[in-house]
């Protein structure tokens, strides 16, 4: 990034979209972040709904693989209930992205034989 591009970044804080973050964990599998909406003075904003984000890590031979997903929940109890399905979906999405990247890489690495076209 050059200097002129760096000056084009807007670092203004969106004071109408502030959240206080809390981290809750079971010290085993689940880590749930609760983002509580707040006003600019730090008081809670009851007009907006908290956001819950689930996080876990899977171990692989190459090291930990993070999984993260928004939990469709209004309360912490609901967030705990939907956590397993959300992590399973995040895992399925990640596996599909890896397969897609492998397909794209295979397409880029195929051998091109002069004189042959792609079905033409």
Read off the pTM: 0.76
Q: Compute, in degrees rounded to 10, the torsion defined by CA atoms 35, 84, 57, 50.
A: 0
Position 43 in a domain: yes
The answer to the question of residue 9 being in a domain is no
Three-state DSSP state, 4: helix
Note whether residue 8 is domain-resident: no
Nearest in space to 36 (alpha carbons), one of 51, 58, 23, 53: 51
Query: Is residue 119 one of the residues assigned to a domain?
Result: no
Examine residue 42 and state whether it is found in any structural domain, yes or no: yes
pLDDT of the residue at 6: 64
- The pLDDT of residue 106: 82
Supply the pLDDT for residue 72: 97
Domain limits for position 26: 15-108
In a domain, 31, yes or no: yes
Model pLDDT, residue 103: 85
pLDDT by residue for the chain (120 residues), tens only, comes to: 666 666 789 999 999 999 999 999 999 999 999 999 999 999 999 999 999 999 999 999 999 999 999 999 999 999 999 999 999 999 999 999 999 998 888 877 776 667 665 554
3-state secondary structure of 13: coil
Q: Please state the domain count of the chain.
A: 1
């Amino acid at each position: 990034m050059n200097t002129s591009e760096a000056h084009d970044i807007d670092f203004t804080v969106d004071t109408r979209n502030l959240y206080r973050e809390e981290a809750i964990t079971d010290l085993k599998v689940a880590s749930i972040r609760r983002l509580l909406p707040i006003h600019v003075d730090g008081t809670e904003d009851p007009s907006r709904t908290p956001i819950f984000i689930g996080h876990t890590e899977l171990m692989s031979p190459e090291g930990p693989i993070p999984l993260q997903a928004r939990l469709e929940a209004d309360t912490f109890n609901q967030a705990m209930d939907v956590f397993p399905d959300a992590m399973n979906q995040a895992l399925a999405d990640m596996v599909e992205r890896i397969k897609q990247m492998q397909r794209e890489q295979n397409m880029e690495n195929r051998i091109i034989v002069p004189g042959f076209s792609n079905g033409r």
